[in-house]
Amino acid sequence: MAEHTDSRACVIALDVGGTSMKGAVLDHTLRPLKTLRVPTPRCEGPDAVVNAVARALQDLQSQAAAIHQKPVAAGVVIPGIVDEPAQRAVHSVNLGWRDVPLAAVLEHSTGLPVTIGHDVRAGAAAESRLGAARGVDDALFVAIGTGISAAVLMEGRPLRAGGYAGELGHLSVTTSAVRCACGNSRCLETVASARAIATAYTALSGREVEGAEHVAALVRDGDPVAFRVWERATDALAEAFAVCATLLAPEVIVIGGGLSRAGELLLAPLRDAIDCRLSCQRRPVLVQAALGTQAGCLGAGLLAWDAAGTGVPADLPTGRGGGAM
């Protein structure tokens, strides 16, 4: 596609999560001109989610037009197994869809060239270009939210394996009797995802919490039930990360997603738990994502600008993409 030099040119970026969708109108330096956040209606079924994604893109198109910007492409990143060469959503446990020609559907709805990608691989690309993994060849980016997924950068290149790489949340590391959405009952997601942490606290204490961030606050306040739930989650994550360190030897493990907002409350015990599991392996540096929950959306923006034939400047400052999304 020809390079776009119009100063009004922009792209639409959308990060589709299991709980919410975060979108933005991004200029050529990935600055958000307009933003959007709406719930993901996953309880209404996969068709409802596809329709909601299309409406979110159309809403962002309207917002761009209202400020006299001209969208030239859209990038949409999604969870699950994504066939990026074929531009199909192969399977998502959390969203319930199977083999959806998503890019074609969204192009028909919006009239824009649409590129779809894997949400965590897109987040890893953003962290590699702009954030905590900048300048690192071998890195693991882990997003912990409604589910848990990872992206592997090896010698600067993403590992895709036909779209199947990175399903860290379904690694068997626990004796949990809780059944995962994938059908198994020993998955990391059943104890260490943000949703699992909140659910476990409610089950053990009999008290409802708003989410994992609420549990984190209770840990800081010394709640013994919250501490027990948190310790179980960090131990399971450490087990998974030790496996990754043994097999992949990342220099850095970047923790993103909603749970990353816990900061050192999560990272400090994780470092200790990983360290005691390793011997001769390379010990990865464990860091919080620099881009926070914006990583997926900024990664979607990178996909869109690349598809439009206009890559973003290589010298953007670390953490670019300021502004709430």
The reply to whether 109 falls in a domain is yes
Residues 11, 6: Cα–Cα separation, whole Å? 12
- 83: alpha, beta or left, given left = phi > 0 and alpha = psi -120 to 50? beta
pTM for the whole structure: 0.83
Same domain, 278 and 165: yes
Same domain, 63 and 163: no
Residues 22, 14: Cα–Cα separation, whole Å? 6
The reply to whether 183 falls in a domain is yes
Q: What is the DSSP letter of 113?
A: -
Residues 226, 215: Cα–Cα separation, whole Å? 6
Burial 145-174 (b: 16+ CB within 10 A, else e): bbbbbbbbbeeeebbbeebebbbbbbbebb
Q: Within 13 Å, how many C-alpha atoms sit on residue 221's CB side?
A: 9
Cβ atoms of residues 41 and 55 within 8 Å: no
The reply to whether 33 falls in a domain is yes
Q: How many residues are listed for the chain in this entry?
A: 325
Residues 19, 211: Cα–Cα separation, whole Å? 12
Same domain, 71 and 180: no
Which CATH number is 170's domain given?
Answer: 3.30.420.40
Residues 173, 190: Cα–Cα separation, whole Å? 10
The reply to whether 65 falls in a domain is yes
Same domain, 84 and 144: no
Q: In this predicted model, what pLDDT tens digit does every residue of 150-173 receive, in sequence order?
A: 999 998 888 888 778 888 988 988
| Helix (H) and strand (E) counts in the chain | 9, 13
Same domain, 281 and 297: no
Q: In this predicted model, what pLDDT tens digit does every residue of 179-226 receive, in sequence order?
A: 887 778 789 999 999 999 999 999 999 999 989 999 999 999 999 999
The reply to whether 4 falls in a domain is no
Which range marks the domain in which residue 170 is found? Answer: 132-288
CA distances from 191 to 21, 50, 168, 188 (A): 24, 29, 13, 6
pLDDT for the residue numbered 314:
63
The reply to whether 313 falls in a domain is no
Beta strands per DSSP E along the chain: 9-16, 20-26, 32-39, 70-78, 81-83, 88-91, 98-100, 114-118, 139-144, 148-154, 157-158, 252-256, 285-288
Same domain, 63 and 209: no
Same domain, 20 and 149: no
Number of domains in the chain: 2
The reply to whether 252 falls in a domain is yes
- In the chain, which stretches have pLDDT less than 50? 1-2, 321-324
Cβ atoms of residues 13 and 5 within 8 Å: no
Same domain, 284 and 136: yes
Same domain, 138 and 257: yes
φ, ψ of residue 119 to 5 degrees: the values are -60, -40
Same domain, 145 and 241: yes
The reply to whether 273 falls in a domain is yes
Cβ atoms of residues 109 and 58 within 8 Å: yes
Residues 116, 84: Cα–Cα separation, whole Å? 7
Same domain, 200 and 268: yes
Same domain, 70 and 154: no
Cβ atoms of residues 78 and 118 within 8 Å: yes
Quote the tokens at residue 282.
Answer: 């390379």
